């Protein structure tokens, strides 16, 4: 099993709807998780981090962590065309006192006007 | 404030040549990471610096790859005898310490002909 797995998509959602992105992880990684947004030809941009079981909300974004089921999700409410991008789930792998990130392959999201 | 900067933004070289890629982290960030991203994949960890020392270089693919950070700020990733398989986007990230959120630079797109 890969350490972090995502459905590559593409995921297509109508404008104004809720986009739901999911990610599962293995026992090897720690309990720190991050969602990055990556526009085509650009570098990853951090949008959410979550460390505790449950939900964390920031504007239109909600990250959810379920440690028992080993999954983390990102919900985008009121989806806008500008949300169209690849979303990367990352988990921290603690090595020698520092966390390196292990990424999933990313889910490509398209918001249709 | 200024984010992570990387130069050059694009580098085209011939097989067998030597290249250097530069990263300037966010001011005050002690931790610096190099990742490599191939098309359609998430970034893959290469090396991590805490201060001047390479705390974890387990992701470097072979001994043609080397990185330095002599003064604890700017880092240079060096690739000797480049191969076509080295073509990718090389991303640099920095964080306040080894346990904080990582912020990425714009990347260097390396093409080996």
Q: Which residues contact B39 (CB under 8 A, 6 or more apart)?
A: none
B91 touches chain A (CB under 8 A): yes
Residue of B nearest to A35 (CA): B101
- Residue B54 · residue B37 · CB < 8 Å: no
CB contact under 8 A, A100 and B56: yes
Per-residue pLDDT tens digits for B57-82: 999 999 999 999 999 999 999 999 99
Per-residue pLDDT tens digits for B23-58: 999 999 999 999 999 999 999 999 999 988 888 899
Q: Indicate the SS3 state at residue B85.
A: helix
Per-residue pLDDT tens digits for A30-67: 779 999 999 999 999 999 999 999 999 999 999 999 99
d(CA A35, CA A47): 6
CB contact under 8 A, B45 and A104: no
């Amino acid at each position: 099993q890969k350490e972090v797995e995502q459905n590559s998509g593409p995921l297509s959602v109508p404008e104004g709807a809720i986009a739901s992105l999911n990610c599962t992880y293995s026992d090897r990684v720690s309990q720190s998780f991050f969602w990055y947004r990556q526009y085509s030809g650009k570098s990853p941009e951090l949008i959410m981090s979550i460390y505790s079981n449950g939900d964390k909300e920031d504007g239109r974004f909600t990250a959810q962590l379920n440690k028992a089921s080993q999954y983390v999700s990102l919900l985008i409410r009121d989806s806008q065309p500008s949300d169209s991008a690849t979303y990367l789930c990352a988990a921290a792998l603690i090595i020698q006192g520092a966390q390196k990130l292990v990424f999933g392959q990313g889910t490509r999201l398209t918001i249709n006007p | 404030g200024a984010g992570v900067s990387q130069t050059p933004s694009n580098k085209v070289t011939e097989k067998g040549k030597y290249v250097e890629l530069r990263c300037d982290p966010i001011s005050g960030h002690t931790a610096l990471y190099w990742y490599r991203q191939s098309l359609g994949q998430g970034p893959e960890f290469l090396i991590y610096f805490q201060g001047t020392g390479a705390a974890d270089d387990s992701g470097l693919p072979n001994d043609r790859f080397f990185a330095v950070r002599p003064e604890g700020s700017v880092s240079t990733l060096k690739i000797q005898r480049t191969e076509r398989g080295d073509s990718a986007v090389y991303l640099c990230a920095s964080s306040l310490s080894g346990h904080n959120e990582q912020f990425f630079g714009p990347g260097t797109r390396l093409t080996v002909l």
